[in-house]
Structure 1
Amino acid sequence: MKGIKLHFPQNKFASSGRILFITALIIGLFIIIVKPVVAGINDDRYDGNIFVVYAGNGSLIPPAQTLEETLARHKPAILTFYVDNSSNCKQYAIVVSQLQEFYGRAAEIIPINVDAIPQKESFKLTEAGYYYSGGVPQVVVFDQAGKVVFNKNGQVPYEDIDDKLRVVFNLLPREESVTLKRRSFNEFSSELTP
């Protein structure tokens, strides 16, 4: 069996032509053989931590405190259950970031990757796994006394959570207060903000 034999003329341009040909051949083979991995906000592929990639907010991960520590300090808490390879969670990451922007100093935001919840028969009331209902995203809001005041699955609108937090912090209802405007902190997240 004979192989393919390429013949290049021998002159001063032959070596540069050969290099260009080989480079084009390698690039062509690379494009055909290696398909680039493409993940996005609307698919269920993993492409990094959702809060870093889609909300532009790496300060949420890892959480500053556990639920147990937060409840012991009588501080309101917002648990958010998520997975990094869920389009619903990717899209919801910006809402969690908004919650941190407006309530991050007064309440503890605790994102919990459900893949990291230990597999065990039962949980204590101070463990995040106790409140996980099996779907993502899920938001659970605790008041200062550690009582659950809000618990919903799905892409819960920011306003629904804000209404509960206004009660927790004894703030005016939205319709009676000044509308707060969000500052954009990067191009990607400002495009996703509703």
Structure 2
Amino acid sequence: MRRFVLCCLTVLILGMSCLWSPAAQASLQDDRFDGNIFALYAGNGSLVPPRMPLSQAIAEHRPSLLVFYLDDSRDCKQFASVVSQLQAPYGRVVEFIPVNADTVQGDRPQDPAEAGFYYQGVVPQVVVFDQQGKVRLNQTGLVAYDAIDDALRSVLDLPARSQTETTRPRILNEINTELVQ
């Protein structure tokens, strides 16, 4: 009887501790790992893994957008929505190639067809390639949507924004932090 009571108390205490544990909170304002930043903060888990590596995109003469990121970087979390917003108008004609900077290890590759060749050690970093594999934009930090849009328009021979209807990125006003089962 004594064992039964002790077992019941143990189960009760463990059960109650689960109810009092703090909930996991994803946040744009810290450098904590919360999971895939494109799925969490941009609502777009389709970016990772990329459809093809940079070497294949260059070999197939596809314009490409290479993004170096870290899942535990505040700046990368904030920048994820910009990348996702760019995929809406350009996703069918431009290869989006997000590369986790943690995977770029050791010596810098000598082959310009390898993504690590372009990594500058700062995240986020955006590199835009034209159809011939020539770099048309290479910037680090929170690069503005308009700067990347201008580079992609140039690569695709599209009219400048000043000659077309302005396409503004939608404002991100809510982040989905629920896990739906």
Following superposition, the deviation at residue 27 of structure 1 comes to 3.4
CA deviation string 1:60-118 (max 9, x = no partner): 01000000000001110100000000010000000000111111111100000011123
C-alpha separation in 1, matches of 2:18 and 2:104: 43
User: What pairs up with 1:131-170 in 2 under 5 angstroms?
Assistant: 131-170=118-157
C-alpha separation in 2, matches of 1:172 and 1:185: 27
1:180 equivalent to 2:180? Answer: no
Instruction: Report the more deviating stretch, 130-139 or 109-118.
Output: 109-118
| 1:174 partner letter | R
User: Across the two proteins, how many residue pairs are aligned to each other?
Assistant: 167
User: What pairs up with 1:9-24 in 2 under 5 angstroms?
Assistant: none
CA deviation string 1:24-81 (max 9, x = no partner): 99637963xx444433111100010000000010110100000000000111010000
Aligned-residue CA RMSD (Å) = 2.7
Aligned with residue 81 of structure 1, among 64, 68, 71: 68
User: What pairs up with 1:1-194 in 2 under 5 angstroms?
Assistant: 27=16, 31=20, 34-180=21-167, 188=175
Relative to the length of structure 2, the TM-score reads 0.82
Relative to the length of structure 1, the TM-score reads 0.77
Secondary structure of the corresponding residue to residue 175 of structure 2: helix
> Contact (CA 8 Å) 2:63, 2:93: kept in 1 or not?
yes
Runs of at least 5 residues in structure 1 that lack an aligned partner in the other structure? 1-18, 190-194
Looking at CA atoms only, which structure, 1 or 2, has the larger radius of gyration? Answer: 1
Q: Structure 1 residues 37 and 184 mapped into 2: Cα distance closer, same or farther (>3 Å)?
A: closer
Following superposition, the deviation at residue 179 of structure 1 comes to 2.5
Instruction: Report the more deviating stretch, 66-75 or 178-187.
Output: 178-187
C-alpha separation in 2, matches of 1:98 and 1:118: 29
- % identity of equivalent residues: 48
Secondary structure of the corresponding residue to residue 128 of structure 2: strand
Q: Structure 1 residues 143 and 28 mapped into 2: Cα distance closer, same or farther (>3 Å)?
A: closer
C-alpha separation in 1, matches of 2:125 and 2:154: 20
| 2:105 partner letter | P
Q: Structure 1 residues 187 and 42 mapped into 2: Cα distance closer, same or farther (>3 Å)?
A: closer
Secondary structure of the corresponding residue to residue 139 of structure 1: strand
Secondary structure of the corresponding residue to residue 100 of structure 1: helix
> Contact (CA 8 Å) 1:56, 1:186: kept in 2 or not?
no
Following superposition, the deviation at residue 145 of structure 1 comes to 0.8
